[in-house]
A and B are shown apart, each in its own frame.
Chain A
Amino acid sequence: MAGSLPRKRARARFVYLGLGLAALLGLTLARGTTLGGGILTILAAPEFMRAALIAAIPLLLAALGGLISELSGVLNMALESMMLIGAFVAYTASDYAQSPWAGLVAAALAGMLVGLLHAFFTITLKANQIVSAVALNLFALAATALGFRMLYASGVFVSAPGFDALSIPFLGKLPYLGTAFFSHNILIYLGLLLIPVMWFILYRTSWGLTLRSVGEHPVAASTMGINVNRVRYLAVILSGAVAGMSGSALVSASNINAFQENLSAGRGFIAFAAVVFGRWNPIGIFFGAILFGLGDALQIRLQAYGVGVPYQLLLMLPYLITLIALVAFMRNARGPAASGIPYSDEASS
């Protein structure tokens, strides 16, 4: 078994690096054309990197939330619903309390509730995990639409108070890097901070070991005295909290800091793909989120720049990139061994 898998991965990375360099080369050569020149100009601007990071954070948070759940063996495709409901709750709460922090906390709580529902359906009732996720996603769409209509029937867009942009003293003044990386709002930095924190908890604490054991081999874990269902419940609820916060990030990422129907538009699924793409570890997920954030930011800018490609095709870009990445990287992806399989306590005869 040893030897073939790492070799394949190394080869794959080499290929993709090569492809990326080739693309860059192609772009440079094509800089004469509108499209090529357009893309290059966009990529070079520090605002682009900034926008990419802003777009990536909601994905990152949702994906990290999804990771917690997945490592315990529960497929969490309900990320979309947690994100959407989180966004709505973040918006209304921060508007009501006139504080973005209230929105963040409320979003986390709302996400936890959704997580609780998902856990109840899939763990206690043992319903199909995918159907439960789809049902919750539809529920989120309907509930947020209803709520939005009820509370903001006037149709006038009210901007909720958002997080202030921080400007880090020395680093914020650096030429390219300053705008790109060091003048974001605090939510972005919190999101980034979550990566090493999660890594540490997952791999250096016994909580993390327990969590991963439940996803790998729940029966073995139970013989070691671990209550599998309880761990899974906690994992899904926690993942809901983090995914709910991603909704808050989503609201904050929109220019007007407001909610609208179906704000998430499938980003929960892109986040799910990011978990696979990142091979179920926080660092990899970060790269996945950045990649997809890049796609998102690129598409918006290309529209504004006017490169002559119809905007609808550009809108497809993030999804196509995700699809390609998924196909390319799913080949040897091995997630937690017991993912998606419901667990029963007493073996039946």
Chain B
Amino acid sequence: MSEGARAKAKPVRPRAWSKLPIASVALSLISIATAILIGTVMMLAMRFDPLRAYAALWQGSFGNVIQISETLKTAVPLLLCGLGIAFSFQSGAFNIGAVGQMYLGALAAVIVGGQFPGLPPPLHIFLATLAAFVAGGLWALVPALLKILSGANEIISTILLNYVGIYLVDYMIAGPIKTGGHRDAPTSWPVLEGALYPRLIPHTQLHMGLYVALAAMILLFVVMHYTTLGQRVRIVGLNPVAARHAGIRSNRVFVLAFFISGSLAGLAGASEILGYQSRLISGFAPTTGYDAIAVALLGGFQPFIVGISALFFAGLQTGAVAMEAIAKLPAQLVGMIRVLAMLAVLAASSPRIVSLATRLRGGE
């Protein structure tokens, strides 16, 4: 409701840093702090030494080169899936199907990576990664098309397809693509040497997937803020009806955004398989897709902050192993802290709290 004299407005050139919502970052930090606080209380209640536990957590996640590389390695699929979820959120829909899309991506990567011996490595890597990209995208395409064509709720259909995807992978590795030997823990055939991602730091498991993830992060940021595609996605996400009235094909944009979101999850699957696991086993990434939702939420659905958030969650994960070994803490407790962080972010970013905070700050 602003009236009155118009200020001498300079043309506003968006700079990268002005896109980072400061409030979002602050809220994320507060949420993490709250989660740590609650975690500490729980530890004390269970008669564990919090200081020792947190020290072990730090040691395990960022203590030395090996641990750092472990953390980074763990962050890669979280970041890729998180970026996908953030992007789909911008378009107005929630892609909860990252689990299924990741599995399908891993499946495609294993199939293409395990065949075609004799291909030159760069080409083989590229093809296997591309296959994963497409597979993940296609798996996301199904619920998107179902939504457009029949109005089926995409939340439910993506979740249902998650389960279908998991069982599909199980079937494949016990059947068509299995390798001989272990009966009780079926594994797929191995990925050929030429298709594996090169290691970045010798004697660690950190692989080229990190570059893929970082590239995706930067690319997404650029697309969202500087391209017409990004603008189209934002418009459709904010008001698909007005978008249609302005001539934008909301349905197409929605489907495209979902596809890309699924492809990113597919890339996550590829990075796990081609990066270090080198063969597909049942339940190779049981919760990554769901954890990525927390990552995206904590990251305020903004690419660079999602990156930081992925690092945080990865740190918790690698540090948990050390916590269990050194401070004798059950790993599930760390899992709880992760979830508590998510709940804290949910509360902190809710409209009520935000408006409360704005009013306290004496804002407009």
Contact = CB atoms under 8 A, between A and B. Distances in A.
Contact between A and B in the complex (any CB pair below 8 Å):
yes
Nearest to B151: A330
A138 B294 contact: yes
Contact of B330 (A128, A146, A322): A146
Nearest to B335: A142
A19 interface: no
Given A125-B351, A142-B332, A146-B333, A266 B155 contact: no
B339 A142 contact: yes
B350 A125 contact: yes
Interface stretch (B102-110, B161-169, B254-262, B268-276): B161-169
Contacts of A330: 150-153
Contacts of B96: 134
Interface residues of A, number: 46
B352 interface: yes
Interface stretch (A24-32, A166-174, A177-185, A269-277): A269-277
A131 B164 contact: no
A176 interface: no
A13 interface: no
Contacts of A319: 160-161, 163-164
Interface stretch (B10-18, B222-230, B341-349): B341-349
A132 B294 CA distance: 11
A315 interface: yes
Contacts of A150: 46, 330, 332
A315 B167 contact: yes
Contact of B336 (A128, A146, A266, A269): A146
A246 to B, nearest CB: 17
B255 to A, nearest CB: 16
A313 interface: yes
B159 interface: yes
B150 A142 contact: no
Contacts of B350: 121, 125-128
Contact of A323 (B160, B170, B347): B160
Given A323-B157, A331-B150, A312 B168 contact: yes
Interface of B: 1, 46, 94, 96, 146, 150-153, 155-157, 159-164, 167-168, 170-171, 174-175, 287, 290-291, 293-294, 297, 330, 332-333, 335-336, 338-340, 342-343, 346-347, 349-353
Interface of A: 77, 121, 124-128, 130-132, 134-136, 138-139, 141-143, 145-146, 149-150, 265-266, 269-270, 272-273, 276, 310, 312-313, 315-316, 319-320, 322-323, 326-328, 330-331, 333, 342, 349
